Structure 1
Amino acid sequence: MLVVVLVIVLIGVFSSLRIANEYERGVVFRLGRLIPLKGPGLFFIIPFGVDRLVKIDLRTITLEVPPQEIITNDNVTAKVNAVIYFQVVDARRAVTQVLNYINATSQISQTTLRAALGQSTLDELLANREKINQNLQRIIDEQTEPWGIKVAVVEIKDVELPSTMQRAMAKQAEAEREKRAKIINADGEFQASQTLANAAQVISSQQGALQLRFLQTMVEIGSEKNTTVILPLPIELFKPLIEFGKSVVDGAPPKPLPDREPKTG
């Protein structure tokens, strides 16, 4: 009889021993009533159904939100998925306030994702992602706070657009690139014309500058080893002929061409 009692006592002692890791807490119900948390470390519970232990992990949990089909504020359909980082900050409420806090957090995240992103336009969703992430984190954290859950980070991972929308955006981007290229080209031509105009003004204001430029051009042509060289004549040589043609057209008596002075030996 003593042996039986001793065996029962040993079984009771070993079955009452529990160990909680540093990142765990033990929520204990004694005859259905909540008692103070246990852990970390070694602790005892009353066996044989008197105490019921629920261990809660306090580490950060990574939760993948499955792709959600949304309609943006400008009536664009897209699929968006996200990732959420949260942790239990109150183990007692995580057990007593919700049946399954991980599943509940997942469900509230999906509904919040659809509702919040539906209030944004597609451009805002693509350009202001950091601001949208912060807004999602705030909303989900407020809703999970009664469960003892702290949502630390919400990140939108991918935004999947319909193929027709992708092609339209690609055409728009190509048009923007062509527009910028034309603006840059026009600006370059404008600056080049200004430079040429300034150079022409400088050359015309300096005596001998035009002749010097002519000689430089001839040197450059000669360095290229061309077999044919066309020499431009000064426009002053053609002025009498131009005036003669104008007088014939107008019916006025032509002005006599200037005589060339005889060369003296």
Structure 2
Amino acid sequence: MNIVGNVFLVILIILVIYIVVSCVRIVPQAQAYVIERLGAYNGTWSVGLHFKVPFIDRVARKVLLKEQVVDFAPQPVITKDNVTMRIDTVVYYQITDPKLYAYGVDNPIMAIENLTATTLRNIIGDLELDATLTSRETINTKMRATLDEATDPWGIKVNRVELKNIIPPAEIQNAMEKQMKAERERREAILRAEGEKKSSILIAEGHKESMILEAEAEKEAAILNAEAKKEATIREAEGQAEAILKVQQATADGLRAIKEAGADEAVIKLKSLEAFEKAADGRATKIIVPSEIQGLAGLVSSIKEVAVDPKPDVKAAPKLEK
């Protein structure tokens, strides 16, 4: 009897421990628990340690509070100009009220999907094909505003809506590809023409620069040539002047030496005559000789004649009678 009682006591203790442990709940970060008591909403547990009443309270729903992303399958829509296309959307949403999320709507994700498809058809139905393809930002903004307002009673906030793919019919795709190909070819032709134009301009500028440099080089060469000729002329004139100066200096030195040797005036005039004789051997075409040297020249000529004819024909003067 004691053994049966002990077993029963152990089982009872284990059952009590299990019940106590099951009543202790820890809510993790970014989550919330919706608690019901006897089937009615009792409260919402946030992050931390919580205790519930056994057999009376229960966790009705665990709600994730982080931003979530749901990708919906492509939906067929018709544009204003009766073109059927398929568009798939991506919705970014976040649960802001766990109670409304738990009791506001059954299967909230399906409800958001159906609401997204309906809103998309309404918006695309007012746009033509070209506007649909070029107005993604406008469509995204309108859909986000509509969905956010519609899901607010469900405790859901729609942060963003993105059109993931816009798939037009096959014939429209082929026409668009041809149009894009033609546009690429047009841009390529424009870029090629601009490149050829720039290339021609660069070639012309290069030719112009070459001609300018060539002209400047010829100008510099002519200037250097003229300066070289000028320098040569100056050097030649300086050489001639220096030669004349040395000749005059040598003549002056000779005259000074004769004077120091005590030569008389006749010898000095004779030396002067010799200097003029040497000067006459140069390139000068006209020489002005002083008068005193002219007389001396005549005397020298007479002396030379006497020296050449040692026996002159001298006739005796007639004897005068008294």
TM-score scaled by length of structure 1: 0.64
- Give the gaps of 5 or more residues in structure 2: 195-322
- Aligned counterparts of 2:115 and 2:29: Cα–Cα separation in 1: 29
Matched to 1:159, the amino acid is I
User: 1:89 and 2:96 equivalent?
Assistant: yes
Larger RCO (CA under 8 A, 6+ residues apart) = 1
SS of match in other structure, 2:43 = coil
TM-score scaled by length of structure 2: 0.53
Aligned to 1:37: 44
Deviation at 1:158, TM superposition (A): 0.7
SS of match in other structure, 1:27 = strand
Aligned to 2:203: none
Instruction: Identify which range, 150-159 or 5-14, moves more after superposition.
Output: 5-14
Deviation at 1:185, TM superposition (A): 10
Matched to 1:54, the amino acid is R
- Aligned counterparts of 1:133 and 1:115: Cα–Cα separation in 2: 13
- Aligned counterparts of 1:176 and 1:100: Cα–Cα separation in 2: 48
Aligned to 2:119: 112
- Give the gaps of 5 or more residues in structure 1: 188-265
Instruction: Identify which range, 149-158 or 8-17, moves more after superposition.
Output: 8-17
- Please show how residues 1-265 of structure 1 align to structure 2 within 5 Å: 3=9, 4-174=11-181
- Aligned counterparts of 1:87 and 1:71: Cα–Cα separation in 2: 30
Matched to 2:177, the amino acid is A
Q: Detail structure 1 runs of 4+ shifted over 4 Å in the superposition.
A: 174-187
Matched to 2:125, the amino acid is G
- Aligned counterparts of 2:191 and 2:25: Cα–Cα separation in 1: 74
Deviation at 1:182, TM superposition (A): 8.5
Point out the structure with the larger helix share: 2
- Aligned counterparts of 1:182 and 1:40: Cα–Cα separation in 2: 65
Deviation at 1:176, TM superposition (A): 5.1
RMSD (Å) for aligned C-alpha atoms: 2.9
- Aligned counterparts of 2:40 and 2:74: Cα–Cα separation in 1: 40
Deviation at 1:39, TM superposition (A): 2.2
SS of match in other structure, 2:132 = helix
SS of match in other structure, 1:99 = coil
Of the two, which has the highest radius of gyration? 2
Does the 8 Å CA contact 1:19/1:39 hold for their aligned counterparts?
Answer: no
